[in-house]
Chains A and B, each alone.
Chain A
Amino acid sequence: MLSEGGSFMKGMVMGGLFCLLLSLLGSFRPGTEPKTEDHNHHHVKAPSKDELTKLSDSRVQELSNQVRVSCIIMVQPKFLVYWATALDTWSKHCDKAVFYTSESSKALEAIDLNEKDDWARLRKALRHAFENAGDLQWFFVAQPTTFAIIENLKYLVLAKDPSEPFYLGNVKKSGELEYVAYDSGIVLSYEALKRLVHVFQDEDKCPERGRALWKLSEDKQLAVCLKFTGVFAENGEDAHGKGLFNSKGVNSLISESMKDNPNNVVEGCCSDMAVTFSG
């Protein structure tokens, strides 16, 4: 009896060590983080001043009028303060702003999706936004703690065609998956959303309740589904290559910059045409 127990223990230890060894060896595989691979992911840049001067004034005006953003703000009663703040501030700059909540709140109005599961809720919200899009061609998904400057978002997509699939934001990488971080806002063009809503119906590729043992976060799920439709995450940047979507607040970013570039704090920090801050 004891010997079985002992064997079992030995087995466990061996198994653990074996696995550890394999993964360590695996991570030293050449080409896991090669520089060349990094250039395969996309950067979507805002128009530079030169690009704009090439276009006529009336053309710029035309484009400005065409770009219209529908904001999808996912809230919950437990974030009531943020909800109210978003309502009072930045969401007013959206052409259309709709708040989707997990459960209704007496204090504020929103579309009650009555859905506790985060991913399922996001799906419902996106589908609803798509069906009620009207002539809005761009969609911006935010969380309660996101602060967005919609004018700068419009500038980023000013010369982009919404009938092309765009999936923009602050891109992160997890394993092999590149996805747009949720808290710093997700931008979807009409085409991207259309494809997404279509693939929602495919339970294999894009299951409603997630299939892994542990749940993937919704932003990763979104990336997986979009990938099946051929839409890939792209990092939103300004003309100088500085990221426009920030998962941190201005204070944190400035703090970091004070440590990293103490002689050039403000220039080394954030873009002049930042689109979002979060946290």
Chain B
Amino acid sequence: MGHYGAGDGVTMKGSSSRWAFSLGFLVGACSIYFFLRQVWFERSYPVLSEAQERTTAVSERPTSWRKEGAALVNRLHPHHADEDSRVADVLYQKVRILCWVMTGPYNLKSRARHVRATWSRHCNVVVFMSSEEDPDFPTVGLGTKEGRDQLYWKTIRAFHYVYEHHASEADWFLKADDDTYVVVDNLRWILSNHTPEEPIYFGKRFKPYTKQGYMSGGAGYVLSKEALKRFVEGFRTKVCSHTTHVEDLALGQCLEKMGVLAGDSRDTLLRETFHPFVPEHHLTGKFSKSFWYWSYCYYPIGPQCCSDLAVSFHYVEAELMYTLEYYTYHLRAYGYRPRYRPSVRLGLSHGPLSQTAGRAGPKGVQEVTDGRSRTTSAFLVSVNQTKAETEPEKREKDNLISRATENKTAVTLGRHL
């Protein structure tokens, strides 16, 4: 601000006032202009993509559930309109899975709801198990209380409920938490090499406290129909009882007593498929050597994480549920034919498709050794076939596909690494 000499004349004062005013005006205008420019004019706006311009509200998917009491029965196996999901569809018919989800009244909105909207749509039947009944969601009321100490009670009652009400509707019975994400189609691939008459169950195998190991509760586990039968039988004959609230261990011990085998759920490269943590944790986390996990893993030696055909992850929150759904069923890298393609004449193929217990032969998917192949050239197929698949053969093959088929891969971003 100018300091003018006090001794200036009157006229000087008048014009200097005007000068001061003009100067002030200029300064004010300019500073406001620059300020506005930074804040307002130069702001960037995203240019709307055509989809956004059309502002078509994303139409609501028609529900494909049929409510049957407290169970949701899936009428449509979800898949993209222009995706070839014939193998997945066939497996859906042949390997029927009932999923029951352990939840509670306070978790319906924050967790179970998202399970219902995402992966559970790929089960043949899904039942949400809670301590209280909720006819709208719907959930079954198990008549227990809530809390960690109720977990085994809930599990026992849930399996009994499922056995009583839905035994004929499925071949395999999966238990998951409301923060477990399951890629049900990959689970069908693992189970397709077994029959529901086998007394066997699968999951993330842990070592301690048992002879044959037991399956982690959080990562989810799946029982064959025979295994479920024996579990229920065990309680009837009092061979099994509520020994502890540590649900996964207790169940494992009961099943061991009842002669149910703890299966090996690893893929053909010996990578784990059921995971007790989120993908990020398994992929990038450096578990310290003293971390309990290492002493619990039944198969500590080997690649560990994570199969291309991963089945489950745990501690998955709402946002990650949708993110995983996006990665598993939507996001694709152009130009890759699915690695795992059903072999042409499966039933008729010969010899060294040896059936070792658990994995093998028809499930012996040919892992593509040339992982960097980027073009759309035909990939190699399965163990004994040398010729690549062609369209018309696919149609005939559908009839030949029996239990042991190779499934279309659930490609995740992980495959690029």
Q: Which residues of A contact B (CB under 8 A)?
A: 1, 3-5, 7-20, 23, 38, 41, 43, 45, 49, 60-61, 64-65, 88-90, 92-93, 149, 151-152, 154-155, 170-175, 178, 181, 214, 235, 237, 240-243, 247, 250-251, 254-255, 257-258, 261, 263-270, 272-274
Contact B46 A172, beta carbon cutoff 8 Å? yes
Q: CB-CB < 8 A to A15: which residues of B? A: 24-30, 32
Contact partners of A172 in chain B: CB under 8 A = 44-47
A126 to chain B, nearest CB (A): 22
- What is the bound-complex CA distance between A170 and B44, given in angstroms? 12
In the assembled complex, the CB of B326 is this many whole angstroms from the nearest CB of chain A, namely 5
**Please, what's the 1-or-0 string for B305-330, where 1 marks a CB less than 8 Å from any CB in chain A?**
00000000000001110110111011
**With A and B bound together, what is the CA distance between A15 and B58 in angstroms?**
49
What separation, in Å, do the CA atoms of A155 and B335 have in the docked complex? 8
Contact for A41 among B13, B20, B47, B117, CB less than 8 A = B47
Q: What is the bound-complex CA distance between A269 and B329, given in angstroms?
A: 13
Residues of B within 8 A of A243 (CB): 49, 51-52
**What 9 pairs across the A-B complex have the smallest Cβ distances?**
A11-B24, A15-B28, A241-B50, A12-B28, A15-B29, A241-B51, A15-B25, A8-B24, A155-B334
A43 touches B50 (CB 8 A): yes
Q: Mark B383-417, 1 if CB is under 8 A from A, else 0.
A: 00000000000000000000000000000000011
Q: How many residues of B contact A (CB 8 A)?
A: 72
Using CB atoms, name the residue of chain A closest to B372.
A92
| Candidates A20, A60, A92, A272; contact of B36 at CB < 8 Å | A20
Beta-carbon contact of A173 and B335 below 8 Å: no
Question: B164 in the interface, Cβ–Cβ < 8 Å?
Answer: no
Q: In the complex, what residues of B have CB within 8 A of residue A11's CB?
A: 20-28
Interface pair B58/A268, CB less than 8 Å apart: yes
Select from chain A the residue with minimum beta-carbon distance to B40: A23
User: Are A272 and B332 within 8 A (Cβ)?
Assistant: yes
Q: Is the CB of B49 within 8 A of A237?
A: yes
Cβ of B374 < 8 Å from any Cβ of A?
yes
A–B complex contacts, Cβ < 8 Å, 19 sampled: A1-B3, A4-B19, A7-B17, A8-B21, A18-B29, A61-B376, A93-B374, A151-B336, A154-B335, A170-B46, A173-B44, A173-B45, A174-B44, A237-B51, A254-B322, A258-B318, A264-B58, A268-B58, A270-B330
With A20-B36, A170-B46, A255-B319 already in contact, the answer to whether A3 and B25 are too (CB < 8 A) is no
Residues of B near A38 (CB, < 8 A) are 47-48, 53
Q: Which residues of A contact B331 (CB under 8 A)?
A: 149, 270, 272-274
Query: Given that A1-B3, A15-B27, A173-B47 are contacting pairs, would A64 and B375 also be in contact in the complex, using a CB cutoff of 8 Å?
Result: yes
Out of A14, A45, A261, name the residue touching B25 (CB < 8 Å): A14
The complex places the Cα of A267 from the Cα of B320 at a distance, in Å, of 15
User: Are B17 and A4 in touch, CB under 8 angstroms?
Assistant: yes
